Amino acid sequence: QIQGQVKIDPVSRLLYSTDASIYQIEPLGVAFPKSAEDLQAIVQFAAKNQIPLLPRGAGSSLAGQAVGRALVLDCSRYLDKISLNPEDKTARVEPGVVFADLNARANKHGLQFGPDPASGERATIGGMIGNNATGAHSIRHGMTGDHLLQMDVFLADGTAAAFEPVSLNQAWVKAEGKDLEAMLYQRALQIREQYADAIKQRWPRTWRNVSGYALNYLLPWSASSPPAWEHGIYPSIKPGEINLAPLMAGSEGTLALFSSATLRLVETPKHKVLLVLAFDSLIAAVTAAPDLLEHGPSAIELVPRAIIDRARRVPAYASRIDFLEGSPEALLLVEFAGDDPARLAAQAKSIGTAGLLLENPQQQEHLWEVRKVGLGLLMSVAGDAKPIPFVEDVAVPVDHLAEFVGEFQRILTDHDTQGDFYAHASAGCLHIRPWVNLKSRDGIEMMKSIAGELVSQAIKHEGTISGEHGNGIARSGWLEQIYGAELLGAFGMLKQAADPHHLLNPGKVIDPPPMEANLRLGEDYQTTVWPSLMDFSDQEGIAGAIEMCNGAGVCRKMDPGMCPTFQATRDEMHATRGRANLLRAMISGRHPDDLQAEEAVFEALGLCLACKACKAECPSGVDMARLKYAFLDQYYRGKARPLRDYLFGYIGELARIARIFRVIINPLLSSGVGKIFLAALGISKERYFPEIAGARQAPQADAGEAVVLISDPYTEYFTPELELHARHVLTRAGCRVIKLKQIGTGRTKLSKGMLNPAKREAAKLLRELKRIDPEGNIPVVGIEPSEVATLTDDLLSLVPGDVYVEALSGRAYSIEEYLLRNGERGEPRCEGLEISPHPTAILIHGHCYQKAQRPADDGLPSGVDASVALFESLGCSVEVIDSGCCGMAGAFGYETVHYETSMLVGELALFPAVREKREEQVLVAPGASCRTQIEGGTGEEALHPVTLLNQLMTGE
């Protein structure tokens, strides 16, 4: 009946059994509607057959509202159409539209959607409406429901309705009849007339409230309003009118399913400044918030030291905050936005408190990026006790905030635990994460006790149990305590009118299960893991490494980086979260069949590029590449590997032999017979297999600063001219180059999960290094980024606890990094190159491992930044392509089964950027795989940095 898909297999059900909460419930299946007609057909079918439905966007919900025993409707894959009307400042959107995509389109017209949740890079508008989401700028723009003008919906029986502003007279007309739309209008009007006094008496005094149903929108009335609200009356519903669309906000899909919505857009401020204030305690920081509001900021965010400290351990975020000094207990980020930068700076300076004033937009954005991944960063701890979400967005009036924080700290002390939190301090909304071990009965009881006490404190301080993240399973059970029996009855009356058979996301808001039911990691949770040669002790074992994934879904974002195969396929299985979910199901026995569980993980990891973007960008530190290596090693014990695995894993050994017969082998491989042979091995016919090159002798310098040059199989046997260029450059820089006899670090075997052979190869490398440099003082330089990354990262897990390896990881560099650092003469080695400035324009695509590496301890540029800094120091203009992994990923893109995905990944950002390259730009890519992928996808040739350096030195 639909154009989309329905999946009811065990793997699909497991993939959609979790969200970002502490809960896990296996759904009945997953449907992917392609159109509004599909959506209506599904609702009608479900109504006829009494099948519960659960609408879902990115699955980043924190209270369990996106999991349930129902048919999940994943609207994020296809229902993502946007229609802008800049003149009216409105946008028409489908539920699967990602917030960041909407704003990217709106920003071109100087507009934006005001509510901005921290998860906006992957959160869908459907999810935002379901949660009535908001974010850091809520004091100016309120909640999602405050900008929800109209909705086209399907009611529980599949009939269509349109919710928009109507007069009370029109509403009474709509209430005549017996259909669901009439019943809904009847109950809405009844609540407006009969429950107005109760609403005004029992409603939390904070406008930042998403607990229960938004009955106050029916009056319309609010106990308070956002202090910087700039859109007229609040709520922005005219007296004498009623609009059921805002009532849907925060209803979590329990009242109706929407197919499209009209949103109000607001103007984007032309300028912003950010004042960073440091405090020696959390209490001192939140105490300052009410007075700071008097200065007219657009946001005040509390960032605790825990977030900054953990951000400094995650490569992608450490580089974002390198301008911050020290480790104060708390920071307040006070933003001012408007059209006059001088006025904004004056506003910030009027506070009169010493702080760091950021006027640079990039620095501001980097700090906001760290703040937005705060939840994930707080979760980036190994072990059974974790800072978990269950009452983590209590909101109180801002002048109660300091007292409430003090009470919260007392509650934690009384329960002999600790907690992390940060806050939308301007709105009085706290994100609270008590540390609890949910694998024990004591931990579960502690969770319930802490929740009960926090609810009591929220009520005492005239606040609410949820100021942003909704009801779900975790908080629906507390609604009666907050609102009383009378208003809870009104909630039930509204639900009964809209969904008489309770088929729409059952168990949320109304009739929820106990908060301790359906835990993902409950007291019965057990794991069985395999022994691995890869060390996972930094995450307390393989199980701990898998459990680092909390489901927040940052891997579903669509901008360059993590996770490239999800971006290419839009398939949950191929997001880092999906892979982690399947791994956890396998080790915990969640899958009904152990063999099928292993095969599901194998399929999911088959498209993992091992690009390490997750290690660099996942705020919780999920390292899927390392898990892939360990899994493949175990998977193939007792199984036959594909022959192509041996071809690529042992490419160095095979190429060394083939070099002897290259005059025969090269023509053979390029012939029809050779192509048939390669195809039989599983090599794509679309790929050109490189020719084996002859050996090249390089001149040896007898004097200078010693440096070890490591070679890799691809450079040694296919592009040996790169080694000549590297030697030439290093010699010109005053170095005496020592070439290792050992070719490779074990990288090619490691990437195929051949851990024993990889470990043996690494041992050979280490023996030769120790022979040459027993004290471990000589720098090691590599040509291929993946080989350097093996030394700086992978060997620490493959050869754990080895002091020599640990020291080696700190003195291994790419050539660009090495040349930027001071030599024996106390000046950067690149100054010895004696290159006259060249007006060369360079376009660089960085290797994914370079993008994933941590900032250097010495504070000097590393990774792609080193390439940029080096060439800029030589007088070149440099532009970096904003892309993630190229899609080639070593052997991955050569393999027939992966070729299509490889090219899809390339088309995400890299290929379009190369095609748009200016004619005068020289294309540079340090990775061999990247250069191959660029040529295969665009026909353009990219140079290795050492080749370009060599050309600059020789004047070519």
CB 501 within 8 A of CB 50: yes
Q: Which of 184, 164, 166, 167 is nearest to 175 (CA)?
A: 184
pLDDT of residue 715: 95
Helix pair angle (282-293, 401-414), 10° resolution:
160
CB 112 within 8 A of CB 268: yes
Rounded to a whole number, what is the distance in angstroms from the first to the last CA of the chain?
A: 65
What's the average model confidence in pLDDT over 121-127? 96
CB 624 within 8 A of CB 643: no
On the question of pLDDT at 320 being above 90, the answer is: no
Kindly report whether the global pTM for this prediction surpasses the value 0.85: yes
CB 220 within 8 A of CB 200: no
Q: What DSSP character marks residue 140?
A: H
CA distances from 347 to 292, 343, 723 (A): 11, 6, 57
How far apart, in whole angstroms, are the C-alpha atoms of residue 535 and residue 797?
5
The DSSP bridge pattern shows strands 386-387 and 241-242 to be unpaired
Structure tokens at 496: 């009964």
Which residues fall within 8 angstroms of residue 727, CB to CB, at 6 or more apart? 698, 699, 709, 737, 739
Per the model's pLDDT, the better-predicted residue between 450 and 326 turns out to be 450
pLDDT of residue 313: 81
How far apart, in whole angstroms, are the C-alpha atoms of residue 827 and residue 820?
9
- CA 656 to chain CA centroid, nearest Å: 42
Structure tokens at 434: 């008590």
With 0-12 / 13-18 / 19 or more C-beta atoms within 10 angstroms meaning exposed / middle / buried, residue 940 is middle
Structure tokens at 139: 């004091």
The DSSP bridge pattern shows strands 82-85 and 90-93 to be antiparallel
What's the average model confidence in pLDDT over 126-138? 96
Q: Which residues pair with 395 in a beta bridge?
A: 429, 464
pLDDT in tens, 748-787: 999 999 999 999 999 999 999 999 999 999 999 999 999 9
On the question of pLDDT at 391 being above 90, the answer is: no
Q: Which residues pair with 880 in a beta bridge?
A: 844
Angle at 349 between CA 343 and CA 351, to 5 degrees: 120
How far apart, in whole angstroms, are the C-alpha atoms of residue 506 and residue 519?
17
Cα dihedral 351→357→363→364 (10° resolution): 10
CB 338 within 8 A of CB 271: yes
pLDDT of residue 456: 96
CB 205 within 8 A of CB 399: no
With 0-12 / 13-18 / 19 or more C-beta atoms within 10 angstroms meaning exposed / middle / buried, residue 55 is buried
How far apart, in whole angstroms, are the C-alpha atoms of residue 63 and residue 706?
58
The DSSP bridge pattern shows strands 53-56 and 71-74 to be parallel
Q: Which of 891, 898, 899, 895 is nearest to 681 (CA)?
A: 895
Calculate the average pLDDT of the chain.
94
Q: Report the SS3 class of residue 122.
A: coil
Which residues fall within 8 angstroms of residue 871, CB to CB, at 6 or more apart? 840, 842, 878, 945, 948
pLDDT in tens, 480-492: 999 999 999 999 9
Confidence category of residue 698, pLDDT binned at 50, 70, 90:
confident
How far apart, in whole angstroms, are the C-alpha atoms of residue 691 and residue 669?
8
Cα dihedral 873→876→881→882 (10° resolution): 50
Structure tokens at 810: 């700190």
Q: Which of 551, 552, 562, 543 is nearest to 615 (CA)?
A: 562
Confidence category of residue 696, pLDDT binned at 50, 70, 90:
confident
What's the average model confidence in pLDDT over 93-104? 97
CB 897 within 8 A of CB 602: no
Structure tokens at 209: 């409230």
Q: Across the chain, which distance is largest between two alpha carbons, in Å?
A: 97
**In this prediction, what percent of the chain has a pLDDT beyond 70?**
100
What's the average model confidence in pLDDT over 444-458? 96
With 0-12 / 13-18 / 19 or more C-beta atoms within 10 angstroms meaning exposed / middle / buried, residue 588 is buried
Do you know the residue count of the chain?
956
The DSSP bridge pattern shows strands 330-338 and 299-304 to be antiparallel
The DSSP bridge pattern shows strands 148-154 and 160-163 to be antiparallel
Q: Which residues pair with 154 in a beta bridge?
A: 160, 257
The DSSP string of 759-793 is: HHHHHHHHHHHHHH-TTS-S-EEESSHHHHHIIII
On the question of pLDDT at 697 being above 90, the answer is: no
Helix and strand element counts for the chain (H, E): 43, 27
What's the average model confidence in pLDDT over 63-91? 97
**Measured on CA atoms in the order 371, 548, 584, 638, is the torsion positive or negative?**
positive
pLDDT in tens, 154-197: 999 999 999 999 999 999 999 999 999 999 999 999 999 999 99
With 0-12 / 13-18 / 19 or more C-beta atoms within 10 angstroms meaning exposed / middle / buried, residue 503 is buried
Confidence category of residue 401, pLDDT binned at 50, 70, 90:
very high
Q: Which of 651, 657, 630 is nearest to 929 (CA)?
A: 651
Confidence category of residue 837, pLDDT binned at 50, 70, 90:
low
What's the average model confidence in pLDDT over 792-803? 95
On the question of pLDDT at 397 being above 80, the answer is: yes
- CA 234 to chain CA centroid, nearest Å: 34
On the question of pLDDT at 833 being above 80, the answer is: yes
Confidence category of residue 408, pLDDT binned at 50, 70, 90:
very high
pLDDT of residue 373: 81
Structure tokens at 709: 């040059």
On the question of pLDDT at 809 being above 70, the answer is: yes
Confidence category of residue 316, pLDDT binned at 50, 70, 90:
confident
**In this prediction, what percent of the chain has a pLDDT beyond 90?**
85
How far apart, in whole angstroms, are the C-alpha atoms of residue 7 and residue 905?
25
pLDDT of residue 854: 82
pLDDT of residue 244: 98
How far apart, in whole angstroms, are the C-alpha atoms of residue 456 and residue 355?
36
Question: What is the helix, strand, coil percentage profile of the chain, to 5?
Answer: 45, 15, 40
Other beta carbons within 10 angstroms of residue 698's beta carbon come to 16
pLDDT of residue 353: 77
pLDDT in tens, 512-555: 999 999 999 999 999 999 999 999 999 999 999 999 999 999 99
Q: Which of 77, 28, 78 is nearest to 54 (CA)?
A: 28
Q: Report the SS3 class of residue 732.
A: helix
